[in-house]
A and B are shown apart, each in its own frame.
Chain A
Amino acid sequence: DQQVKQNSPSLSVQEGRISILNCDYTNSMFDYFLWYKKYPAEGPTFLISISSIKDKNEDGRFTVFLNKSAKHLSLHIVPSQPGDSAVYFCAASGLRRGNNRLAFGKGNQVVVIP
């Protein structure tokens, strides 16, 4: 039972364009959401997060949008760079309920074409 879902397993985008990654969740107890980036042969690294009390969080080229009513979040990368080519995981946790265990999606492979 996948509580965090990432469809469209792979995405190819031209350098300089926008990359948009989508994530849906089913558990209404989740109140904190994170995006992780993973290169081959390395562990995932934290990218950006958002609390359920916000609907947007921006950090440089990365912006995460949260739509609580739709249980949907998205990650925008603008402009995309070749170094952004990686697998991106969406994750969620229920911090306010004392559950800090992260549930991960299956990941999206992003390829940025120079």
Chain B
Amino acid sequence: NAGVTQTPKFQVLKTGQSMTLQCAQDMNHNSMYWYRQDPGMGLRLIYYSASEGTTDKGEVPNGYNVSRLNKREFSLRLESAAPSQTSVYFCATSTPRGTEAFFGQGTRLTVV
């Protein structure tokens, strides 16, 4: 029972490079999220998907795109990485009523 799985766990990018962070859940939840965590900033919502085929912007969507490929997978893409995107990224899914969210282990991304 893996829950929420993120890949990769670590990544170093050069400014301007692109990459996709992958997330998959086996909890059969409709809602999935991407957050970033920065020192002193808590967890900030980047994008949200209420169900397969739908996505919505969160607090800090600029510089990111997402794709809800199917119910299980929700990917986050950085088209042209910037040093300001250095952060720890968390994927999450929530119960149908949103009463509890389950997080992946995180991806530590450094943009140099």
Q: Which residue of A is nearest B101, CB measured?
A: A102
Contacts of B48 in A (CB 8 A): 101
Query: Is B102 a contact of A105 with CB atoms below 8 Å?
Result: no
Query: Is B43 a contact of A89 with CB atoms below 8 Å?
Result: yes
Instruction: Give chain A nearest CB distance to B14 CB in angstroms.
Output: 24
Give bound CA distance, A44 to B103, whole Å.
6
- Choose among A34, A41, A49, A104 the residue that contacts B42 (Cβ–Cβ < 8 A): A104
Chain B CB within 10 A, most for which of A9, A95, A107:
A107
List 19 additional contacts besides A45-B103, A100-B99, A103-B45; criterion CB under 8 Å.
A34-B99, A34-B100, A41-B106, A42-B106, A43-B104, A43-B105, A44-B103, A46-B101, A49-B99, A99-B98, A100-B94, A101-B45, A101-B48, A102-B45, A102-B98, A104-B42, A105-B42, A106-B42, A107-B42
How many chain B residues sit at the interface, stated as a range, is: 20 to 34
- Interface majority SS on A: helix, strand, loop or mixed? strand
Indicate if A32 sits at the interface (CB-CB under 8 A).
Answer: yes
Contacts of B41 in A (CB 8 A): 106
Instruction: Give chain A nearest CB distance to B72 CB in angstroms.
Output: 17
Query: Is B43 a contact of A44 with CB atoms below 8 Å?
Result: yes
Instruction: Give chain B nearest CB distance to A80 CB in angstroms.
Output: 22
Give bound CA distance, A46 to B103, whole Å.
9
Chain B interface residues (CB < 8 Å from chain A)? 4, 31, 33, 35, 40-45, 48, 58, 90, 92, 94, 97-106
Give bound CA distance, A42 to B35, whole Å.
14
Query: Is B4 a contact of A43 with CB atoms below 8 Å?
Result: yes
Chain A contact residue count (CB 8 A cutoff): 26
Contacts of B101 in A (CB 8 A): 34, 36, 46, 91, 102
6 contacts between A and B (CB under 8 A): A9-B40, A41-B106, A43-B4, A43-B105, A101-B58, A104-B44
Known contacts A41-B106, A101-B45, A107-B42; is-contact A46 B98 (Cβ 8 Å):
no
Contacts of B99 in A (CB 8 A): 32, 34, 49, 95, 100
Give bound CA distance, A102 to B33, whole Å.
10
